[in-house]
């Protein structure tokens, strides 16, 4: 499960690397983690990077991004209801750790890296691949990270996509408050589909089909 085959040389153009790393960061923030831990001896460390996507298209996209950035082809392992992509890689860890953090309460929208509309789109698409739920009349993202949710709302606003947020206090007092972002207006969901969209096939198809149904119902009312 920790297979990382050396392949072609990684992309060396700095601007292209900055573009490619943005969605990889979002996938780690949404459905992954990185860690540095001691290896077999006190002087050795392991630099672990793992992703847990639930869509094969997303998994292949992660593998492609990683290959282009770091020249390694990672193995996709199919588990019960998701896929596992895992490696130990010092160079990648050092670069990605600087762009973090990644923990549930700590991640942030990496605004300093999102200096173009394309990069903002790539980060949002990858994060929503991981975290968004597409419902009949809403697209929803939930997190215990209040600041992160507020930053996503701000980032969506740069595409004129309107959303709202609220918090949900869970029954167990020891559990963190859930912060929920909702894209509810049909026009905003249409704008999201057109301007951002998903790499996640089921979510992309579901949102498109729901909006098409809304449009047909509107026409024939």
| Per-residue pLDDT, 6 | 57
Of 31, 33, 35, nearest in space to 58 by CA: 31
What is the rounded CA–CA span in Å between residue 98 and residue 108? 12
| Per-residue pLDDT, 194 | 97
Q: Are 53 and 27 in contact (CB under 8 A)?
A: yes
- The structure tokens 């049909």 sit at 186
What is the rounded CA–CA span in Å between residue 151 and residue 148? 5
Q: For residue 9, how many other CB atoms are within 10 A of its CB? A: 9
| Per-residue pLDDT, 220 | 46
Could you give all domains of the chain from N- to C-terminal order, each with its CATH number? 1-102 (3.10.28.10), 108-221 (3.10.28.10)
79-108 average pLDDT score? 94
| Per-residue pLDDT, 221 | 45
Does pLDDT of 136 surpass 90? yes
What is the rounded CA–CA span in Å between residue 10 and residue 12? 6
- Three-class SS of residue 42? coil
pTM, two decimals, is 0.90
What is the rounded CA–CA span in Å between residue 11 and residue 16? 7
pLDDT band at 1 (very low <50, low <70, confident <90, very high): very low
- Three-class SS of residue 77? strand
Q: Are 43 and 128 in contact (CB under 8 A)?
A: no
Q: Are 88 and 75 in contact (CB under 8 A)?
A: no
| Per-residue pLDDT, 190 | 97
In whole angstroms, how far apart are CA 21 and each of 100, 107, 124, 130? 11, 16, 13, 16
What is the rounded CA–CA span in Å between residue 76 and residue 1? 8
169 vs 182, higher pLDDT: 182
Which spans in 32-158 are helix H? 56-70, 90-99, 117-131, 146-157
- Three-class SS of residue 26? helix
Q: Are 72 and 87 in contact (CB under 8 A)?
A: yes
Q: For residue 4, how many other CB atoms are within 10 A of its CB? A: 20
Q: What is the pLDDT of residues 158-177, one digit of tens each?
A: 999 999 999 987 676 667 88
31-53 average pLDDT score? 88
């Amino acid at each position: 499960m920790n297979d990382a085959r050396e392949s072609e040389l990684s992309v060396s153009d700095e601007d292209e690397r900055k573009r490619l790393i943005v969605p990889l960061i979002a996938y780690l923030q949404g459905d992954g983690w990185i860690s540095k831990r001691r290896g077999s001896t006190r002087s050795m460390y392991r630099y672990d990077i793992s992703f847990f996507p639930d869509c094969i298209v997303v998994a292949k996209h992660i593998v492609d991004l990683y290959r282009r950035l770091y020249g390694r082809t990672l193995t996709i392992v199919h588990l019960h209801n998701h896929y596992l992509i895992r490696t130990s890689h010092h160079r990648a860890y050092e670069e990605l750790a600087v762009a973090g953090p990644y923990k549930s309460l700590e991640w942030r929208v990496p605004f300093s890296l999102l200096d173009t509309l394309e990069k903002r789109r790539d980060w949002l698409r990858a994060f929503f691949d991981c975290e968004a739920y597409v419902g009949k009349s809403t697209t929803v993202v939930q997190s215990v990270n209040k600041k992160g949710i507020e930053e996503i709302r701000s980032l969506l606003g740069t595409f004129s996509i309107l959303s709202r947020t609220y918090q949900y206090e869970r029954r167990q007092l020891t559990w963190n408050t859930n912060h929920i972002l909702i894209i509810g207006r049909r026009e905003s969901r249409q704008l999201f589909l057109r301007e951002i969209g998903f790499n996640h096939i089921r979510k992309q198809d579901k949102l498109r089909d729901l909006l098409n149904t809304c449009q047909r119902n509107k026409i024939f009312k």
